[in-house]
Structure 1
Amino acid sequence: MNYTTQMDAARKNIITEEMKIVAMKENMDVEKLRELIAYGKAVIPCNKNHKNINPEGVGEGLRTKINVNLGISKDAYDLEREMEKVKTAVEMKAEAIMDLSNYGKTEEFRKALVEYSPAMIGTVPIYDAIGFYEKELKDIKAQEFLDIVRKHGEDGVDFVTIHAGMNRATAEVFVNNPRLMNIVSRGGSLLFAWMRLNNQENPFFEYYDELLDICAEFDITLSLGDACRPGAIADSTDASQIHELMVLGELTKKAWEKNVQVIIEGPGHMAIDEIEANVKLQKKLCHGAPFYVLGPLVTDIAPGYDHITGAIGGAIAANAGADFLCYVTPAEHLRLPTLEDMKEGIVASKIAAHAGDIGKKLPGARRVDNEMSDARRKLDWTRMFELAIDPERPVEYRKDTNPEDETTCTMCGKMCAVRTLNKVLDGENVNILR
């Protein structure tokens, strides 16, 4: 039988090759996965033109996935450096990479990224419009925004962030409910500005059916962006954010009518006590569609350390049911991330995702933790490093010190509790002083 998208196949009781691969990775019955995709509770972002993709699933009952943002900008235009980041992100097993390039002719980098990467690739097509058409924002036509989405689909992009919920009604709610930080979504701010400058409706909302046809043609997963995501904890869970979320819920149903897979994007900056409620609200208003969060960052006062504030929020969000974490680097709010910034962000997000999976009680989530504990009990340092999320740093730390007893570390030395118990339980003398 023929099918257009993974959702279309699932609804026709077709098990695709991508479903088989994802089910094996997740230790899930493939029929169960098919049902989740049919109901929109899980997605497999997999453009028909992304030939070397290693498919991943995002959604209910699946491991929490992480996304890495990178790309060129006018102030940091270095394609070679960005490709080095891509290769490192793939080596570190990031499940998704978003190309947020926003300057010049970005097609060269995007095509190279898709051709190289087995990870799923996402973009925000509106970023590309100004450079592609060489027009100021106000002068871009509605149809041209849609044409850019088609171009990204032809290039093999697996999911696209589209801020279709920033319509005139949402914009009015925002204007009537002032915020401390206004709109911090780059794509959302561009669309809000375009609407005001041209006195027109958001093209992605007005011509949403045409957008869905493009997504269905290439099996692009539609990541419905939250233009009103809070950029300060003072703005979280406000009228603008919730109004837009309600719009996204309606747009989700329309997408499913055309068998287009959907992810919902979420905050942003948010006080720690609001995260769980926001996840539950999204799942309710958006009918169980997978939830993709940036952070959330739980405080606004840690520039240079926002990979930590984001990981705290990400772990809580994942535990509450968020399915997809967008990483945050130490350079957030400060500069384009370096390679080292990116690595710090990946590790922090992977920790958050794994901690969330343990909290969700996903089958097998604790297995590697138990293996690590067993290696620690045996003082098997080699095995500990093999199991670590980031093997490089613990090896460096270990080499940097020289304990008297090489089975221990310089923190406790021969007073190591693990060493003491191992010896005593084996009937040996502890011999701390000699």
Structure 2
Amino acid sequence: MNYKTQMEAARKGIVTKELSRVAKDEGFTEQELLALVASGRIVIPANIRHKSLHPYGIGEGLRTKVNVNLGISGDCADYHAEMEKVRLAEKFGAESIMDLSNYGKTREFRKKLIEISLAMIGTVPIYDAIGYLEKDLKEITAQDFLRVIRSHAEEGVDFMTIHAGINRRVMEIFLRERRQMNIVSRGGSLIFAWMKMTGNENPFYEYYDELLDILREHDVTVSLGDALRPGSIADSTDASQIAELTEIGNLTERAWKQDVQVLVEGPGHMAMDEIAANMKIEKRICHGAPFYVLGPLVTDIAPGYDHITSAIGGAIAAANGADFLCYVTPAEHLRLPDLSDVKEGIIASKIAAHAADIAKGVKNARMADFQISEARRKLEWEDIFKLSLDGEKAKEYYESIPPEDRHSCSMCGKMCAVRTMNRILDGLDTKLR
């Protein structure tokens, strides 16, 4: 193999098996996809050691992908429950799973996840650093952080969130400007705290070239984390967010020079009227790199319903250029999500992604809608259930109050408009009694 990464292969005109699969799945020619991967506008996260992976492309012109967060925490170290979430995520079509484990047997859990999962696997190595190294945050060195990154890469992680953009220049802007919610990124807060306690530069920024060498060796995509993503709509599009994004734009180009693929992470909480502009700003400053957004959550008043506030923002974001949505569950801001929360979060994000794909004209995005509408016109209920995003729920609702006439539902009964039109157009009388 005379290439290290998918980007390097594309730049050499080599069609990898991963690129070939993505082209087939997305309806692109291999040559079209080669050009987009070579330029960085599409990434195919595919660690050479993730043998079970179904490769996916993220970026310009492709279907909007959805990521599911899960993992072990100190307050809920139930490995079986987290694996159930993995199976649920794959059942409902999540293309990516981020393991955010920060407690207990994180390495064993991660290795098992990579062994069995078809989805792309992402991590945030700084979450794992304290437990992995068995040191207090202040005692961890820059080389310690790099050691954890190498460990994740060697285990087969496809992409890693690295908060490299919050350097001393950006920190000065944050401290000067202040904001309502300060830093709400867990990784960002840890890096900020480490910098303040040690007086050192962000290790991921200072040793960025060494970090890229590790990622390139294993073809790990760097997901440039937004440490200063807004945690309330009052903080969105402020000087801190934009300052960090500017640094991330430079880091993107530096990664591309080493043939390392790049995702750029984005907000956060953001009012609806700011979302479209933010998508365009990111694409401009970060040179067309794929954009990975958490939400955005369009209001701060709905704890318990943030899968809805996120889906609204995610649909607007993806319709205006975002390529990758991180799901948000009803448990956001409140607790670790359970299975029910995970399902609600995935479904909400998948709806947002699909609606956006229709809006931006992704190839064949409307086909599923046409097929289910055909089944609805014919009142073919079993076909409707098969074609539904969550057919089990649709069938459960339909059968919970069974209609007298199977050619309708219990909402309208024999007054069903579809039934009436089918009968009249077939030359039959409509009978309401």
Same fold (TM over 0.5): yes
* Residue of structure 1 equivalent to 2:424: 424
* Residue of structure 1 equivalent to 2:224: 224
- Please state how far the C-alpha of 1:77 moved relative to its aligned partner: 0.5
* Residue of structure 2 equivalent to 1:11: 11
* Residue of structure 2 equivalent to 1:36: 36
Instruction: Provide the TM-score with structure 1 as the length reference.
Output: 0.99
Amino acid at match of 1:160: M
Instruction: Indicate the percent of aligned positions where both proteins have the same amino acid.
Output: 65
- Please state how far the C-alpha of 1:399 moved relative to its aligned partner: 1.2
Measure, in 1, the Cα distance between the counterparts of 2:149 and 2:203.
12
Amino acid at match of 2:245: L
Amino acid at match of 1:413: G
CA-to-aligned-CA distance 1:168-220 (integer Å, 9 cap, x gap): 11111110111110000000000000000000000000000000000100000
Contact 2:224 2:263 in 1 (8 A): yes
- Please state how far the C-alpha of 1:415 moved relative to its aligned partner: 0.7
Measure, in 2, the Cα distance between the counterparts of 1:416 and 1:297.
37
Amino acid at match of 2:175: V
CA RMSD between the two structures = 0.7
Measure, in 2, the Cα distance between the counterparts of 1:180 and 1:104.
33
Measure, in 2, the Cα distance between the counterparts of 1:145 and 1:398.
53
Unaligned runs of 5+ in 1: none
- Please state how far the C-alpha of 1:89 moved relative to its aligned partner: 1.1
Contact 2:402 2:410 in 1 (8 A): yes
| Greater CA drift, 114-123 or 403-412 | 403-412
* Residue of structure 2 equivalent to 1:200: 200
Contact 2:163 2:187 in 1 (8 A): yes
CA-to-aligned-CA distance 1:56-108 (integer Å, 9 cap, x gap): 00000100000000000000011111111111211222100000011133101
Tell whether 2:271 aligns with 1:271.
yes
Unaligned runs of 5+ in 2: none
Amino acid at match of 1:278: N
SS at match of 1:161: strand
* Residue of structure 1 equivalent to 2:23: 23
Measure, in 2, the Cα distance between the counterparts of 1:87 and 1:388.
19
Contact 1:48 1:156 in 2 (8 A): yes
Measure, in 1, the Cα distance between the counterparts of 2:377 and 2:84.
38
* Residue of structure 2 equivalent to 1:309: 309
Instruction: Provide the TM-score with structure 2 as the length reference.
Output: 0.99
Amino acid at match of 2:25: K
Aligned residue-pair number:
433
Measure, in 1, the Cα distance between the counterparts of 2:161 and 2:338.
23
Tell whether 2:174 aligns with 1:177.
no
Q: What pairs with 1:210-289 in structure 2 (closer than 5 Å)?
A: 210-289=210-289
* Residue of structure 1 equivalent to 2:61: 61
Amino acid at match of 1:376: R
SS at match of 2:351: helix
| Greater CA drift, 159-168 or 85-94 | 85-94
CA-to-aligned-CA distance 1:240-286 (integer Å, 9 cap, x gap): 00000000000000000000000000000000000000000000000
Tell whether 2:329 aligns with 1:358.
no
Measure, in 2, the Cα distance between the counterparts of 1:144 and 1:105.
19
* Residue of structure 1 equivalent to 2:344: 344
SS at match of 2:329: coil
Structure 1 runs, 4 residues or longer, greater than 2 Å off: none
| Greater CA drift, 88-97 or 222-231 | 88-97
SS at match of 1:160: strand
Contact 2:77 2:104 in 1 (8 A): no
* Residue of structure 1 equivalent to 2:87: 87
Tell whether 2:153 aligns with 1:145.
no
* Residue of structure 1 equivalent to 2:333: 333
Measure, in 1, the Cα distance between the counterparts of 2:91 and 2:318.
23
Amino acid at match of 1:197: M
Amino acid at match of 1:366: R
- Please state how far the C-alpha of 1:117 moved relative to its aligned partner: 0.3
* Residue of structure 2 equivalent to 1:386: 386
- Please state how far the C-alpha of 1:402 moved relative to its aligned partner: 1.7
